[in-house]
Structure 1
Amino acid sequence: MKIPSRTFKGLAIAAAATLALTACSSGGNEAEPSEGGEAGLSLMTEGQLTVCSDIPYEPFEFTDENGEIVGFDIDIATEIAADQDVELSIIDDSFEGIQSGISLNKCDVSISSISITEERKGNMDFSDPYMEDDLVLIAPEGTDITDLESAQDKRIAVQAGTTGETFGQENGLQTIGFDDSGLQIQALKAGTVDAALGNISVLGYAIKDETGFVRVEEIETGEQLGVSIKKGNTEMADAVNGTLQRMEESGELGELEAQWFGEAE
């Protein structure tokens, strides 16, 4: 997938991501922050914006048929790195690590469809919101699950550590957690769960070309997605917000949303 604008930066993603993933799996020591970028940001690695992301989480971040990491979040991360005149490196990390703030000990920022919540604000700072999202319950056609009430005592697939899991548990659903959304959808297709609960942006995208699955209830939660930043790092927050504001004002953010999600929303 072509990354809009500043494509010369996008060419470095695959190689940088491979190195980052290797370093992550080796269990090596964390890198010492270095100065880098036009704004003199303190970065984990000089001349490189290191971003933690939970892969796959289509269409926000996933590996395409060419082995490159692409997606809506990745396009935004590319723009942030380009505005700072640095390369982009992607580290694949668990969402539980990302949403708890642990990932920020090895990354400059995390961008992975992270909903801004008061609980998470206790562990990290957030950029301005870059997208709004709600939850949806999907199930096979012909099922007796027609809403949240009829989903009681059913096996509901959720992604561990997400707002979908929290909402399901708070509403008395029998949730079964999965490490990523891909496994969540696979379980639904295999029939090992009765339904799936998660963000419309992800589950709507996952079934938009599938037959045999329907949205049985959409739940308005007013979620807003943001880039997570280490607490107190105002310089990084200003840099990220500057890119988001530029993309919003130019219309590029809306174009990317239409490109990746289409009518999934």
Structure 2
Amino acid sequence: MSRTHHRVVAAASLCTGALALSGCAVIGGTSSSKAVGSDEHLSSSYQLVEPGTLTVCSDIPYPPFEFEQDGKITGYDIELVHAVAEKLELDVDVIDSSFEAIESGASLTGCDLNASSISITEARQRVMAFTSPYLDDDLVLIARKDRGFTSVEGLEDARVGVQTATTGAEYATEQGLNVVQYEDGGMQVQALKAGNVDATLGNQTVLLYELKDDDRFEIVEELPTGEQLGMAVGAEKAQLLSAVDRALQELRTEGKVAELQDKWFGHVQEAYR
């Protein structure tokens, strides 16, 4: 996958307790913020790859989380990242990376933050530090209606498309399915549409979004794995993790997380209302 860079300058943020380098005063019922640190101070505190910029690794395309539209990178993760960066008074640089590099933590050698629909797992927690969850996301099995599948157990020798290095791929392999792996979610979905695989298995937010308008396909089985998505930083970046996590919690309290869920998924999960 080619690597592309996209920079968007975040607007000045409201006051947030996540920044130890900001001073805050409440005047007449409104908050005002005064930064007392420079880009160099922020880099020192958060150990940023580039001073004053939050460099984010994301696997593109992976709608509705991250994808290109009208020449710009957008999606649920991307809008949430910009909202976090606004809280931290940082610019944003989004770097296209393979999900394999992201989930292994390898991408964090060149990025400050991994934000790419990453399910929080014990294995991944051993190589990077996660924020609190910002979305719940179980797995789902989808196939053509005319195939007559009724469950995972009934797939037998059917070819099942998955995305490499994902929890869907891990689950399908554990179930002994005849797995066909694809580098990204877009290729996985296209393989199903083209008839190159008999079914596809992955996170429901992505697959249901991609196939919602195609009546050739149906949900064969929903797989409640209890997965939750989080953003992640390098294990050594404790201050950055604390700041990003605080920003996410503020955005959740303010209703921004719910707003973005409604915008991109058409509903708000109960835990985030």
Q: Fold conserved (TM > 0.5)?
A: yes
- Whether the 8 Å CA contact 1:144–1:150 is kept in 2: the answer is no
Find the structure with the greater CA-based Rg: 2
Is 1:182 equivalent to 2:183 in the alignment? no
Is 1:82 equivalent to 2:112 in the alignment? no
Question: Which runs of 5 or more residues in structure 1 are unaligned?
Answer: 1-6, 11-33
SS in 2 for 1:187: helix
Aligned residue among 37, 42, 64 for 2:47? 42
Residue 172 and residue 39 in structure 1: after superposition, are their counterparts in 2 closer, same or farther (change >3 A)?
same
Aligned residue among 194, 197, 203 for 2:198? 194
Opposite residue 115 of structure 1, the aligned amino acid is S
Opposite residue 256 of structure 1, the aligned amino acid is L
Give deviations 1:132-172, integer Å, cap 9, x for gaps. Answer: 11000000112121210111211000000000000000011
Query: What is the Cα deviation at residue 8 of structure 1?
Result: 6.3
Q: Distance in 2 between matches of 1:44 and 1:8?
A: 16
Aligned residue among 165, 172, 179 for 1:168? 172
Is 1:142 equivalent to 2:146 in the alignment? yes
Aligned residues: CA RMSD: 1.9
Give deviations 1:52-103, integer Å, cap 9, x for gaps. Answer: 0000111000001x11000000011101211111110000000000000000
SS in 1 for 2:62: coil
Residue 47 and residue 67 in structure 1: after superposition, are their counterparts in 2 closer, same or farther (change >3 A)?
same
Opposite residue 91 of structure 1, the aligned amino acid is I
Q: Which residue of 2 aligns with 1:116?
A: 120
Give deviations 1:166-195, integer Å, cap 9, x for gaps. Answer: 000001111110011110010000001000
- Whether the 8 Å CA contact 2:46–2:237 is kept in 1: the answer is no
Is 1:207 equivalent to 2:187 in the alignment? no
Query: What is the Cα deviation at residue 214 of structure 1?
Result: 0.7
Q: Which residue of 1 aligns with 2:129?
A: 125
Query: What is the Cα deviation at residue 35 of structure 1?
Result: 3.6
Query: What is the Cα deviation at residue 122 of structure 1?
Result: 1.0
SS in 1 for 2:149: coil
Residue 36 and residue 227 in structure 1: after superposition, are their counterparts in 2 closer, same or farther (change >3 A)?
farther
Q: Which residue of 1 aligns with 2:257?
A: 253
Aligned residue among 58, 62, 73 for 1:57? 62
Residue 197 and residue 78 in structure 1: after superposition, are their counterparts in 2 closer, same or farther (change >3 A)?
same
Aligned residue among 238, 244, 253 for 1:240? 244
Residue 235 and residue 264 in structure 1: after superposition, are their counterparts in 2 closer, same or farther (change >3 A)?
closer
Opposite residue 87 of structure 2, the aligned amino acid is D
SS in 2 for 1:237: helix
- Whether the 8 Å CA contact 1:39–1:84 is kept in 2: the answer is no
Query: What is the Cα deviation at residue 38 of structure 1?
Result: 9.3
Give deviations 1:195-242, integer Å, cap 9, x for gaps. Answer: 000000100111112221111100000001010110131101111111
Query: What is the Cα deviation at residue 263 of structure 1?
Result: 5.3
Opposite residue 99 of structure 2, the aligned amino acid is F
Opposite residue 111 of structure 1, the aligned amino acid is A
- Whether the 8 Å CA contact 2:139–2:224 is kept in 1: the answer is yes
State the number of aligned residues: 235
SS in 2 for 1:241: helix
Query: What is the Cα deviation at residue 264 of structure 1?
Result: 10
- Whether the 8 Å CA contact 1:204–1:264 is kept in 2: the answer is no
Question: Which runs of 5 or more residues in structure 2 are unaligned?
Answer: 1-7, 12-38
Q: Distance in 2 between matches of 1:227 and 1:203?
A: 20
Opposite residue 116 of structure 1, the aligned amino acid is I
Q: Distance in 2 between matches of 1:143 and 1:224?
A: 31
Is 1:93 equivalent to 2:97 in the alignment? yes
Q: Which residue of 2 aligns with 1:23?
A: none
> What are the equivalent positions in structure 2 for 1:2-13 lying under 5 Å apart?
9=10
